[in-house]
A and B are shown apart, each in its own frame.
Chain A
Amino acid sequence: DAGVIQSPRHEVTEMGQEVTLRCKPISGHDYLFWYRQTMMRGLELLIYFNNNVPIDDSGMPEDRFSAKMPNASFSTLKIQPSEPRDSAVYFCASNQWAGRTEAFFGQGTRLTVV
């Protein structure tokens, strides 16, 4: 397996624009997590899915953020409208047993909102 695949690797957008980040988890993993990493706040869990169903989105900062998982092999994180404070590295991770075993992270998407 190629691991968790995220796209794009880098995204630069203007304030107010819609941004969509994409993730392909490892095949067979039932859990998918979206994290945001910043210098100030470290790694923050935004939302996670189990078998394509959102279980806990309490980490999503605002209604401008939304996430979907239409099938077992694809998830999106959307920010609309984007703001400069959304600039961060966004990671997708997947695993088989939630927090009880290793989480496999993607390479991340570095988002810059200008």
Chain B
Amino acid sequence: GENVEQHPSTLSVQEGDSAVIKCTYSDSASNYFPWYKQELGKGPQLIIDIRSNVGEKKDQRIAVTLNKTAKHFSLHITETQPEDSAVYFCATYTGGFKTIFGAGTRLFVKA
């Protein structure tokens, strides 16, 4: 079945620096790649997503890139702020109605 690997598991950056989280997937039929942010005591919430017909998407300080050939996609956060501290999950959708989540990355932004 589909497998999603996410790295790193923990990331600590200084406020203002950039943060990059990477995910690889196994099923070449995957066609939808959402990223979720989970703050303490809350459920995951979508922050950005990309579909397989697009290579890059940007929304203010966050961007996602997709390399279908290499089967990996990445989340980029620029000018990080303390409120960006959270757990970030990548996910893929291949079909069969299931979303497969990565293990999560705990991001710490130090003021």
**Chain A positions near chain B (C-beta within 8 angstroms):** 4, 31, 42-43, 45, 48, 50, 55-56, 91, 93, 98-103, 105-108
Contact = CB atoms under 8 A, between A and B. Distances in A.
Given A42-B104, A43-B89, A99 B99 contact: yes
A88 to B, nearest CB: 14
A105 B34 CA distance: 14
B14 interface: no
Interface in B12-48: 31-32, 34, 36, 41-46
Lowest 5 CB-CB distances: which A-B pairs, in order? A105-B43, A99-B93, A98-B97, A99-B99, A102-B46
14 contacts: A31-B97, A43-B44, A43-B89, A48-B98, A50-B97, A98-B93, A99-B93, A99-B94, A100-B32, A100-B93, A102-B49, A105-B36, A106-B43, A108-B41
B101 A42 contact: yes
Contacts of A102: 34, 46, 49
Contacts, number: 55
A109 to B, nearest CB: 10
A106 to B, nearest CB: 5
B62 interface: no
Contacts of B32: 99-101
A45 B97 CA distance: 11
Given A42-B101, A100-B31, A107-B42, 5 more contacts: A4-B43, A91-B44, A93-B43, A99-B32, A105-B45
B63 interface: no
A9 to B, nearest CB: 9
A42 B94 CA distance: 20
B103 interface: yes
Contacts of B44: 43, 91, 103, 105
A100 B72 CA distance: 18
B42 A108 contact: yes
Contacts of A105: 36, 43-45
Nearest to B46: A102
Given A99-B93, A99-B98, A42 B103 contact: yes
